[in-house]
Amino acid sequence: MTIYKEVVQASMPVTILKLVGVLDATNYQEIIDKARQLYHTGMRQLILDFTQLTLMSSSGLLSLHDIALLMRGEPPPDIGEGWSAYHAISHFIEEETRFEKHVKLLNPQPPVRKTLETTGFDHILEIFDDRDAAIASFQTSPEAI
């Protein structure tokens, strides 16, 4: 998988990470590390562009879960804990009643979209097919103080 980064200057900066290739057990930690690095530099609005992501495994779902937690300022579960990390995902999906504010998905291709829908991630991570609409979605959801 290759990751490309772009920062869009709207009314607030939005970072777009474009993933090209396959997101699986061989590289899922790479995208988590990239999101962690961006968070530590102050970035809070993230779009994951899946336009050229051809396949996403269960490890890819784990990376989405961890990235959503990171962007909220919450620590993700320790990967070394094995299945408990996967159980945290199911609790995450069951407990969420609205879309994640800080992470959006852009243009997942049919196999990836099917994975998101089958697992329920499409109910917690808002999916956009239009880049401008994804960017604008951050402008319309202000943070409560």
Q: First CA to last CA across the chain, in angstroms?
A: 38
CA–CA separation, 60 vs 33, rounded Å?
Answer: 13
In a domain, 2, yes or no: no
Mean pLDDT of 108-130: 94
pLDDT, tens digit (0-9, with 9 covering 90-100), for 46-92: 999 999 999 999 899 989 999 999 998 988 876 665 555 555 555 56
- In a 3-state reduction of DSSP, which class is residue 57? coil
Which domain CATH number covers 59?
3.30.750.24
DSSP string for 13-44 = EEEEEEEEEEESTTTHHHHHHHHHHHHHTT--
In a domain, 82, yes or no: yes
pLDDT of residue 92: 61
> Containing H/E element for 47?
strand 46-56
pLDDT band at 19 (very low <50, low <70, confident <90, very high): very high
In a domain, 80, yes or no: yes
pTM: 0.86
Q: Residue 72 — φ and ψ, nearest 5°?
A: -85, -10
Q: Can you give the residue range of the structural domain that contains 84? A: 15-131
The answer to whether the beta carbons of residues 34 and 3 sit under 8 Å apart is yes
- In a 3-state reduction of DSSP, which class is residue 117? helix
